[in-house]
Amino acid sequence: MKILLIEDDSVTAGFVANGLREQGHGVDIADNGRDGLFLAAGTPFDLLIVDRMLPGLDGLALVKTVRGAGLKVPVLFLTALGSVDDRVSGLNAGGDDYLVKPFAFAELLARVDALCRRPTLQDQQTVLRCGDLELDLLKRRVRRRERPIELQPREFDLLAYLLRHAGQVVTRTMLLEHVWELHFDPKTNVVETHISRLRSKIDKGFDVDLIHTVRGAGYILRAPE
C-alpha cells in the first residue's frame, strides 16, 4: 500500500514510517499540513495518516479540504487529542478512523490493514475541465485560457457542479439540492441570478459560450466539439 504520513514530530514519523515499511508498505512523509495537502492532491495514495496538530494547516482543515475536493482516500487520524469531542470532530471532518497517542504499533498496523481493505471509490480527480475552462478543487482556483477568474464561494460550488455534469442538462431542482442543499423550492430566482453572474465571469470576453440554457429543462455546461 502507498501511504502518506502527515506528522510534524520527527521521532513519531520515523517510528511509524519504519514500522510500516518493514510490513511492505510504501510511505511518504510530510511534516506540515500544507505540504501534506499538496502531496495528497497530486499523488494517489491508498491511505492518509494525519496528525491533528500540524503547522501550516491543521489536520482537521486538511481532511475537510481533501473531502471537499472529492478525494475518497481513507484517513486515519493519529493524534494526542483523545477526548470524545476530539474523536467526534475528527470523524465528522471526514476521518475514517481515530487512534490516540501513545499507541501500540500492532494496533496501528491492524487499523491500517483494515482501512486499506475497505472498498473505496477511486475518484481522485481534483481538477475539473471543460474545453479551455479549468477548476482546481483543492486550490479553489478557476482559469479560462490561463486567465484567472475570481468567483464567490457559491459561484465556485455552482461551477464545480456544472463541471462534474458537463455535457448533461441539470435542472433547477438539482442545483437547489446539490449546491444550496435546499430540498424545497424557495420561490426565488436565486439559481437564475447566480447563473447570470457566473456567465458574466466565465463567458464574457470569450468568443465561445460554455454555459447554455435549455429552455424548459435547465442548464448545460458544454464545450464546442
Domain assignment present for 68: yes
DSSP single-letter state for residue 48: E
The confidence score (pLDDT) of residue 118 equals 66
Domain assignment present for 184: yes
The confidence score (pLDDT) of residue 123 equals 46
The confidence score (pLDDT) of residue 119 equals 57
The confidence score (pLDDT) of residue 193 equals 95
Instruction: Report the C-alpha gap between 51 and 76 in whole angstroms.
Output: 9
Domain assignment present for 122: no
Residues of the chain with pLDDT under 50: 121-123
Same domain assignment for residues 105 and 145: no
Give me the numbers of helices (H) and strands (E) for the chain, helices first please: 8, 11
The confidence score (pLDDT) of residue 80 equals 92
Residue that is last in its domain, among 117, 140, 165? 117
Q: Which of 124-145 are b and which e, b meaning 16 or more Cβ less than 10 Å from the residue's Cβ?
A: bebebebbebbbebbeeebebe
The confidence score (pLDDT) of residue 120 equals 52
Which domain covers residue 86, as residue numbers?
A: 2-117
The confidence score (pLDDT) of residue 125 equals 67
Question: What are phi and psi for residue 123, nearest 5 degrees?
Answer: -110, 90
Same domain assignment for residues 104 and 199: no
Residue that is last in its domain, among 84, 117, 150? 117
pTM above 0.75, yes or no: no
The confidence score (pLDDT) of residue 121 equals 44
The confidence score (pLDDT) of residue 63 equals 94
